[in-house]
């Protein structure tokens, strides 16, 4: 059992509050992704777990044992660093064996575990080489092999793929996912790449300004972001946001986007009632809008500004009021810039955002 | 980086290549040559008293010779400054014999008494001298050319008046016979190479006109009474200085790496010695160790000693070594520090964190990660220091006067400057070059293997 | 207890007491380490500064005090320029200083002029022979170049340029050239070539691009290299003693009269020779690692 419990952890650098009273529990063998833009505190939080930068306040425990102020080597963890941090003066074999040697694992066992780790990462024929003669991708494999050879129950990864080129990153992503499922370690994985987060994590914790905005399964984070920021950070293209006005209409509320009126989903009626007569923000993803080439009562007329064919879809940029909106359409949908199209918003796909707080509004039970 | 291949880079490096060829490669070759090449070891004799004539065997410098004859020969004016040169002057004269026959030709200056001179001192006219000795031929030969070997153009009686038309300076050539290694040789040689004894019939070969390879200078160096002490002291100082410097430089570098408050002050202070002249450092430490200096002042002030101790004397050589050791450690640690700091800065922080995370405590980190990764820098610094230690010079002179305790560079200086013995000085220079070259080869190897490892 | 209750109020979740102890111990250790580090750093500073302190206080007092015993550890009592004046008015010191400055300036100019294009070439071009050239420069740098003063003296005598500050400057240039080339090379290497290309794209000729974009950026680094060249020449004593007789530089002059000179003269001389070096090292201290760091790469 190696669950990781982060309780009310705060970390400051001088006046800068890098991690602000964060609590997070990672279950045994869970793959947790910390996602956020640079400077959000995700790496600082990871380093507090690793013991490379001690928390100022709060408690961190691994497998029920308080490790808050233990030095890293006493925490029973292993880690893959962003720059790989492999030892340039050691052969690949010695790099992988380093942790075992430091922990006085006997020779035969070391050899067995190094070979096993190398095989898992397909670098078993490079054990005699020096890292300086290897490509970035190969060094990455050495770094991962070194971490898994430790057989620690906790594996920390700090943006391990960010130094690889796009193609290699795609390949390693799938491989890492398979590998981590195989070794069954509790993993915290830090990244700023939302695709990586969505594709790999059991859960994603989205961070900003030192706090966790949302921590949930990838599909939920994607579909029901907790805040406007999460919606805008995750997804490519990010979620669209439109300014609108809530109006009472026949005992229920309507939402007006300019002259266009929209009926919210029944579930959201109670949520939106308090906003009667007030502005609100509509959030909707590009792929959730229906594009029509002919007018329809329940669709808003928009002018197409840009058409970007992306192969599997066409991405339209349109303007609704002051907001720029990205709409994805099927490639067969014929459209050209300066043409008018009509957009239909499926009621169940619309998310509602409080304009002042940026919080998404959800009915009590969804 | 421009990958285009063109002539521009060659043009840009050309001045430096030429400069180093002239002022580095050539002197280096000269140093080697001076140390092993005796430039005037052998005298090549000539069959006749003329530079163009065929060779007639050789004799080494210092051979005793018999002088069998002599003859003048034209000498170029710029060679007149040569050492040991014996010359004779000849006049071209015109005269009228007692019987009215005109005679013109060349006569030796010794045969003519100059009676008239121009305002600038040029001889214009004179008379033939009377020969001494009753049985001598009373007539003086006048030759067709300025050489006793040429045909006689006429004979003149003593006191005949002669007009001097022209004069020529001749160098004497000697016909010498000598023996070297059992093989006799006989031939002509210019006076400048021969030292003639007072009896005018014997002499010795003072210098040669051809060189030969020799180990004389190297032997002279090795047999010099200061050689072994100098070599020994140089190595002793190296062994004493280098380890202390490395430990101290490591400590300094680790302090700089801590980024303490006041780091730039510490860095400056640690680096000051980098720019201080070795002579000044020698004097500074002399001020401390001299009999009425600071060390005694402090010790006496604290009551440890009653009277000043004389440290820097021939009887207390070890104190001189200690003083030189301290001065060199004081002076030359900063360069090692700078090299080590840049080596430390090249170790990424994440690598150290990784070591910590995988179980290495501070000492294991130093032992397994920091030191091995610092190895290239340490080796470079080591070799730089070794080569600098071979050149220790002014500090030694300042602290020992240069003879109680001496080192190789100091001996090179003494041989050159005090003893005027360029070749032995060059032998010392060659020895220092050789010792350095051995280090430099290692240095190059290291650099190469390094670049391979990082390629 | 009330204390724990307060703690619980301000920070509801705290590490266990055991962990707090671990932390306290770590912090104590850290403070101790820091203290020890400061202590050692200050000790080393004293080791470096005290001898300078001694010589400065000798140089800036009266000759009588210099000759007195025991000497006071407190400096400058009485403060006086008399010793300094005595030294500077000694025979050959002012001409020696002027010679030293002339030699150092010629060396600085020559070696910068020759090294700058070479440094540019090794940092900007990939050409066959580049590595060989760099290795050769490194090798020359590691040679005891001053020792070459002895054969050079013979050469200079043959050419009739012995005992001249100009020929000494030629020797000093050979001494400093390798270092200067490597340093200037690293200075150029720190300026991306793209900057030059950008300037050319925006209409500069290559020469204009060099002058308007590269030169201002590398000027401080090259100046630092030049200053270091000056210091090396100013300090050099072996070659100066071999290659000059009447036109001695300052160190050569001091060395040649060292055994016959009085202590006030020696101490003032040492201090006088140290002054420019101490100032210059202060000026270029930021560039020290640029200069020496790269030799290990």
Complete DSSP assignment for A44-108: HHHHHHHTSS--SEEEEEETTEE-TTS-GGGS-EEEE-TT----TTS-HHHHHHHHHHHTT--HH
Query: Which chain A residues touch B if contact means CB-CB below 8 Å?
Result: 50-52, 71-73, 77-79, 81-83, 85-90, 98-99, 102-103, 130, 132-133, 146, 150
> Which chains reach chain B with 3 or more Cβ–Cβ distances below 8 angstroms?
A, C
Note whether B355 contacts A: Cβ–Cβ < 8 A.
yes
Beta-carbon contacts of B298 under 8 Å, excluding residues fewer than 6 positions away, are C73
**What subunits make at least 3 CB pairs under 8 angstroms with C?**
A, B
Compute the 3-state secondary structure of chain A and give helix, strand, coil in percent, each to the nearest 5: 30, 35, 35
By CA distance, what is B354's nearest residue in A?
A85
Q: List per-residue pLDDT tens for chain A, 366 residues long.
A: 689 999 999 999 989 999 999 999 999 999 999 999 998 999 999 999 999 988 898 999 999 899 999 989 889 899 999 998 999 989 999 999 999 999 999 999 999 999 999 998 999 999 999 998 898 889 999 999 999 999 899 999 999 998 888 888 888 899 899 998 888 899 999 999 999 999 999 999 999 999 999 999 999 999 999 999 999 999 889 999 999 999 887 778 888 888 888 888 888 888 888 888 889 999 999 999 999 989 988 899 999 999 999 989 999 999 988 899 999 999 998 888 999 999 999 988 999 999 999 999 988 764
C65 touches chain B (CB under 8 A): no
Q: Which residues of B75-122 form beta strands (DSSP E)?
A: 87-96, 102-108, 112-117
Instruction: Report pLDDT for B3.
Output: 54
Helix (H) or strand (E) holding B218: helix B216-223
Nearest-CB residue to A57 (from C11, C16, C19): C11
SS3 at position A268:
helix
Q: Cβ neighbours of residue C82 under 8 Å, at least 6 residues apart?
A: C61, C62, C63
Q: Structure tokens of B30? A: 């000269």
**Multiple choice CATH, B220-454, 1.10.760.10, 3.30.2030.30, 3.90.650.10, 1.10.3720.10:** 1.10.3720.10
Q: Which residue of A has its CA nearest to C10?
A: A57
Owner of token pair 């943006």: A159
Q: Is the pLDDT of residue B119 over 90?
A: no
All residues at 6 or more sequence positions from A21 whose CB lies less than 8 Å from its CB, including other chains? A8, A9, A10, A57, A58, A211
> Among C134, C149, C111, which Cα is nearest to C249's?
C149
For testing contact with chain A, the best of B343, B351, B359, B378 (most A CBs within 10 A): B359
**CA-wise closest residue to B174 among B62, B275, B262, B43:** B43
Which residues of chain B does C184 touch, with a Cβ-Cβ cutoff of 8 Å? none
Residues of C with CB under 8 A from a CB of A: 11-16, 18-20, 22-23, 26
- Closest Cα partner for C225 from C131, C63, C132, C107? C107
Q: How far is C13 from chain B (nearest CA, A)?
A: 26
CA-nearest residue of chain A to C27? A69
* Kind plus residue range of the DSSP H or E element containing B455: none
- Alpha-carbon span B32 to B427, nearest angstrom: 7
Most C CBs within 10 Å, among B252, B273, B279, B376, to test the C interface: B279
d(CA B165, CA B126): 11
Structural contact between residues B175 and B53, judged by C-beta atoms closer than 8 angstroms: no
Whether residue C121 lies within 8 A of chain B, CB to CB, comes out as yes
Which phi and psi (to 5°) does residue A30 adopt? -85, 150
> Does residue B108 carry a pLDDT above 80?
yes
- Which of B346, B357, B362, B371 is the best substitution to test chain A (most A C-beta atoms within 10 A)? B357
| Chain B environment of C37 (Cβ under 8 Å) | 255, 258, 260
Question: How do strand A154-158 and strand A77-80 relate by DSSP bridges?
Answer: parallel
User: Distance (Å, rounded) from C-alpha B393 to C-alpha C195?
Assistant: 47
Q: Please answer yes or no on whether A52 and B357 come within 8 Å at the CB atom.
A: yes
pLDDT above 60: residue B450:
no
pLDDT digits (tens, 9 = 90+) for B260-305: 888 888 988 998 888 888 899 999 999 999 888 888 888 888 888 8
Are A31 and A184 in contact by the 8 Å Cβ rule? The answer is no
Q: Give the number of other CB atoms < 10 A from CB of residue A14.
A: 6
pLDDT, position A236: 86
Q: Name the band, by pLDDT with cuts 50, 70 and 90, for residue C295.
A: very low
In 3D space, the residue among B322, B332, B330 whose CA is nearest the CA of residue B400 turns out to be: B322
Task: Report the gap between the CA of B284 and the closest CA in chain C (Å).
Answer: 6
Nearest CA among C297, C115, C168 for reference residue B20 = C115
Inter-chain residue contact B357 with A72, CB threshold 8 Å? yes
| Best of C19, C21, C33 to mutate (most A CBs within 10 Å, chain A) | C19
Query: What average pLDDT does range B203-207 have in this prediction?
Result: 85
- Matching residue, tokens 């180990």: B215
Q: By the 8 A CB rule, do B304 and C259 touch?
A: no
Confidence tier at B4 by pLDDT (50, 70, 90): low
How far apart (Å, rounded) are the C-alpha atoms in residues C225 and C116?
10
Residue B201 φ/ψ, nearest 5 degrees: -115, -15
**Cβ–Cβ below 8 Å for B355 and A98:** yes
SS (H, E, C) chain C: CHHHHHHHHHCCCCCCHHHHHHHHHHHHHHHHHHHHHHHHHHHHHHHHHHHHHHHHHHHCCCHHHHHCCCCCCCCCCCCCCHHHHHHHCCCCHHHHHHHHHHHHHHHHHHHHHHHHHHHHHHHHECCCCHHHHHHHHHHHHCCCHHHHHHHHHHHHHHHCCCCCHHHHHHHHHHHHHHHHHHHHHHHHHCCCHHHHHHHHHCCCCHHHHHHHHHHHHHHHHHHHHHHHHHHHHHHCCHHHHHHCCCCCCHHHHHHHCHHHCCHHHHHHHHHHHHHHHHHHHHHCHHHHHHHHHHHHC
Are C244 and C168 in contact by the 8 Å Cβ rule? The answer is: yes
CB contact under 8 A, B358 and A86: no
The residue behind tokens 């080439």 is A293
Q: What angle do CA B429, C258, C52 make, to 5 degrees?
A: 100
Instruction: Search chain B and give the residue with CA nearest C188.
Output: B1
The Cα angle at residue A251 between residues A249 and A255, in degrees rounded to 5: 35
**Predicted pLDDT of residue A330:** 92
* Rg for chain B, CA atoms, rounded: 36
Confidence band for B444, pLDDT divided at 50, 70 and 90: low
Helix extents (H) in B21-152: 26-36
CB-closest option in B348, B357, B373 to A79: B357
- What pLDDT, on a 0 to 100 scale, did the predictor assign at position A183? 87
Write down the pLDDT at residue B322. 93
Condensed to tens digits (0 to 9), the pLDDT of residues C207-252 reads 888 888 888 888 888 888 888 899 989 999 999 998 998 889 999 9
- Looking at the predicted structure, is the pLDDT value of residue C5 above 50? no
Residues of C in contact with B5 (CB under 8 A): 126-128
- Determine the pLDDT at residue C4: 38
Above pLDDT 70, what percent of chain B?
A: 96
Contacts of C15 in chain A (CB under 8 A): 58-60, 66, 68-69
Tell me the C-alpha distance between A234 and A223, whole Å.
Answer: 10
For residue B360, give the nearest of A73, A130, A150 by CB distance. A73
Nearest to C71 among B10, B270, B294 (CB): B294
Task: Please report the number of interchain residue pairs, chain A to chain B, with beta-carbon separation below 8 angstroms.
Answer: 68
pLDDT greater than 70 at residue C2: no
**Domains of chain A with bracketed CATH:** 4-233 (3.40.50.300), 240-361 (2.40.50.140)
Cβ-count burial B316-344 (b if 16+ within 10 Å, e if not): eeebbbbbbbbbbbbbbbbbbbbbbbbbb
State residue C41's pLDDT score: 95
Contact C238 B409 (CB under 8 A): yes
Report if pTM > 0.90: no
Distance from CA of A100 to the nearest CA of B (A): 8
Helix (H) or strand (E) holding B65: strand B64-74
pLDDT digits (tens, 9 = 90+) for C259-293: 888 888 999 999 999 998 888 888 887 777 766 54
Q: Give pLDDT tens digits for C180-217.
A: 898 888 888 888 888 888 888 888 887 888 888 888 88
B chain contacts of residue C34, beta-carbon cutoff 8 Å: 258, 260
| Residues of each domain in chain B carrying CATH 1.10.3720.10 | 220-454
Rounded to whole angstroms, how far apart are CA atoms A178 and A172? 10
Dihedral angle sign, alpha carbons of residues A346, A347, A350, A356: positive
Three-state secondary structure call for residue B411: helix
Q: Quick check: A54 and C23 CB within 8 A?
A: yes
Distances in Å between the alpha carbon of B29 and those of A199, B25, B36, B329, C148?
70, 6, 11, 33, 10
Task: Tell me the residue length of chain C.
Answer: 297
Q: Tell me if B312 sits within 8 A of B399, measured CB to CB.
A: yes
**pLDDT value at position C179?**
86
Which alpha helices (DSSP H) does chain A contain, by range? 42-50, 92-102, 107-120, 136-149, 166-183, 194-200, 218-223, 228-233, 269-272
Contact B72/B215 with Cβ under 8 angstroms? no
What phi and psi, each to the nearest 5 degrees, are found at residue B98? -55, -30
Cβ atoms of B248 and B256 within 8 Å: the answer is no
């Amino acid at each position: 059992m190696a669950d990781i419990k982060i309780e009310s952890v705060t970390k400051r650098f001088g006046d800068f509050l890098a991690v602000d009273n964060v609590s997070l529990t990672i279950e045994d063998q869970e793959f947790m992704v910390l996602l956020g833009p640079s400077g959000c505190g995700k790496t600082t939080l990871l380093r507090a777990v690793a013991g490379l930068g001690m928390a100022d306040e709060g408690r961190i425990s691994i497998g029920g044992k308080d490790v808050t102020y233990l030095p890293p080597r006493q925490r029973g963890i292993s880690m893959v660093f962003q720059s790989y941090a492999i030892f340039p003066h050691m052969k690949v074999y010695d790099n992988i064996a380093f942790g075992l040697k430091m922990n006085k694992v006997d020779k035969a066992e070391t050899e067995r575990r190094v070979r096993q780790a190398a095989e898992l990462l397909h670098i078993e024929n490079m054990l005699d080489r020096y890292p300086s003669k290897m490509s970035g991708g190969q060094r990455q494999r050495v770094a991962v092999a070194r971490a898994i050879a430790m057989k620690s129950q906790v594996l920390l990864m700090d943006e391990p793929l960010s130094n690889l080129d796009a193609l290699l990153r795609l390949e390693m992503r799938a491989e890492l996912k398979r590998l981590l499922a195989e070794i069954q370690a509790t993993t915290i994985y830090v990244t700023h790449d939302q695709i990586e987060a969505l594709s790999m994590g059991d859960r994603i914790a989205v961070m900003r300004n030192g706090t966790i905005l949302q921590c949930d399964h990838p599909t939920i984070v994607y579909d029901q972001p907790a805040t406007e920021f999460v919606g805008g950070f995750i997804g490519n293209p990010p979620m669209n946001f439109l300014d609108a006005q809530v109006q009472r209409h026949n005992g229920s509320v309507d939402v007006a986007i300019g002259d266009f009126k929209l009926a919210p989903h029944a579930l959201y009626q109670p949520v939106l009632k308090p906003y009667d007569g007030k502005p609100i923000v509509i959030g909707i993803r590009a792929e959730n809008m229906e594009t029509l080439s002919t007018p329809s009562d329940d669709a808003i007329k928009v002018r197409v500004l840009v058409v970007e064919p992306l192969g599997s879809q066409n991405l339209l940029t349109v303007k609704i009021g002051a907001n720029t909106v990205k709409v994805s359409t099927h490639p067969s949908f014929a459209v050209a810039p300066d043409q008018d199209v009509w957009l239909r918003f499926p009621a169940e796909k619309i998310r509602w955002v409080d304009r002042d707080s940026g919080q998404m509004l959800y009915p009590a039970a969804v | 980086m421009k990958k285009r291949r063109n002539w521009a880079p060659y043009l840009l490096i050309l001045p430096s290549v030429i400069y180093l060829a002239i002022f580095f490669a050539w002197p280096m070759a000269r140093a080697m040559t001076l140390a092993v090449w005796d430039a005037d070891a052998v005298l090549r004799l000539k069959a006749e008293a003329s530079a163009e004539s065929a060779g007639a065997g050789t004799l080494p410098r210092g051979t005793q010779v018999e002088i069998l004859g002599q003859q003048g020969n034209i000498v170029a004016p710029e060679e007149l400054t040569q050492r040991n040169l014996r010359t004779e002057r000849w006049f071209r004269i015109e005269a009228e014999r007692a019987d009215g026959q005109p005679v013109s030709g060349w006569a030796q200056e010794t045969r003519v008494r100059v009676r008239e001179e121009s305002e600038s001192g040029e001889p214009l006219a004179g008379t033939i001298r009377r020969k001494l000795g009753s049985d001598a031929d009373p007539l003086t030969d006048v030759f067709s050319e300025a050489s006793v070997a040429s045909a006689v153009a006429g004979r003149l009686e003593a006191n005949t008046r002669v007009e001097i038309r022209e004069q020529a300076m001749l160098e004497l050539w000697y016909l010498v016979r000598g023996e070297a290694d059992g093989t006799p040789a006989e031939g002509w040689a210019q006076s400048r190479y021969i030292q003639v004894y007072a009896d005018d019939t014997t002499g010795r070969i003072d210098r040669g006109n051809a060189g030969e390879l020799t180990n004389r200078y190297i032997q002279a160096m090795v047999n010099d009474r200061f050689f072994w002490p100098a070599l020994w002291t140089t190595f002793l100082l190296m062994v004493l200085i280098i380890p202390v410097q490395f430990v101290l430089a490591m400590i300094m570098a680790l302090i700089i790496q801590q980024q303490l408050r006041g780091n730039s002050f510490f860095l400056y202070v640690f680096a000051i010695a980098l720019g201080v002249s070795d002579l000044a450092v020698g004097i500074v430490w002399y001020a401390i160790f001299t009999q009425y200096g600071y060390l005694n002042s402090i010790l006496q002030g604290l009551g440890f000693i009653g009277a000043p101790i004389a440290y820097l004397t021939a009887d207390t050589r070890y104190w001189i070594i200690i003083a030189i050791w301290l001065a060199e450690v004081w002076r030359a640690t900063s360069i090692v520090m700078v090299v080590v700091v840049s080596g430390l800065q090249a170790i990424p922080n994440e690598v150290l964190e990784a070591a910590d995370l995988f179980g290495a405590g501070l000492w294991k980190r130093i032992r397994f990660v920091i030191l091995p990764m610092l190895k290239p820098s340490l080796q470079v610094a080591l070799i730089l220091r070794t080569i600098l230690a071979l050149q220790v010079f002014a500090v030694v002179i300042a602290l020992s006067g240069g003879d109680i305790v001496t080192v190789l560079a100091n001996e090179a200086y003494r041989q050159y400057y005090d003893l005027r013995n360029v070749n032995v000085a060059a032998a010392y220079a060659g020895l220092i070059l050789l010792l350095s070259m051995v280090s430099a080869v290692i240095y190059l190897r290291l650099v190469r293997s390094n670049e391979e490892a990082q390629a | 207890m009330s204390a724990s209750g307060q703690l619980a109020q301000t920070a509801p979740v705290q590490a266990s007491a055991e962990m707090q102890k671990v932390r306290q111990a770590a912090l104590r250790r850290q403070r101790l380490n820091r203290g020890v580090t400061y202590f050692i750093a200050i000790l080393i500073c004293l080791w470096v500064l005290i001898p300078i302190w001694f010589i400065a206080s000798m140089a800036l007092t009266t000759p009588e005090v210099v000759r007195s015993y025991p000497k006071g550890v407190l400096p400058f009592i009485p403060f006086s320029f008399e010793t300094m004046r005595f030294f500077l008015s000694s025979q050959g010191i002012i001409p020696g200083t002027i010679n030293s400055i002339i030699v150092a300036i010629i060396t600085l100019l020559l070696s910068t002029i020759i090294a700058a294009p070479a440094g540019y070439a090794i940092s900007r071009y990939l050409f066959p022979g580049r590595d060989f050239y760099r290795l050769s420069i490194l090798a020359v740098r590691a040679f005891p170049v001053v020792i070459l003063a002895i054969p050079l003296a013979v050469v200079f005598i043959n050419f009739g340029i012995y005992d001249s500050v100009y020929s000494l400057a030629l020797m000093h240039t050979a001494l400093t050239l390798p270092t200067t080339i490597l340093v200037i090379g690293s200075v150029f290497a720190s300026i991306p070539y793209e900057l030059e290309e950008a300037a050319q794209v925006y209409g500069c000729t290559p020469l204009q691009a060099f002058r308007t974009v590269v030169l201002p950026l590398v000027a401080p680094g090259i100046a630092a290299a030049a200053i270091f060249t000056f210091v090396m020449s100013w300090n050099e004593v072996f070659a100066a003693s071999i290659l000059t007789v009447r036109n001695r530089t300052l160190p050569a002059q001091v060395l040649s009269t060292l055994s016959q000179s009085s202590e006030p003269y020696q101490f003032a001389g040492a201090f006088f020779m140290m002054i420019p070096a101490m100032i210059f090292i202060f000026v270029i201290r930021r560039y020290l690692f640029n200069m020496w760091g790269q030799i290990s790469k």
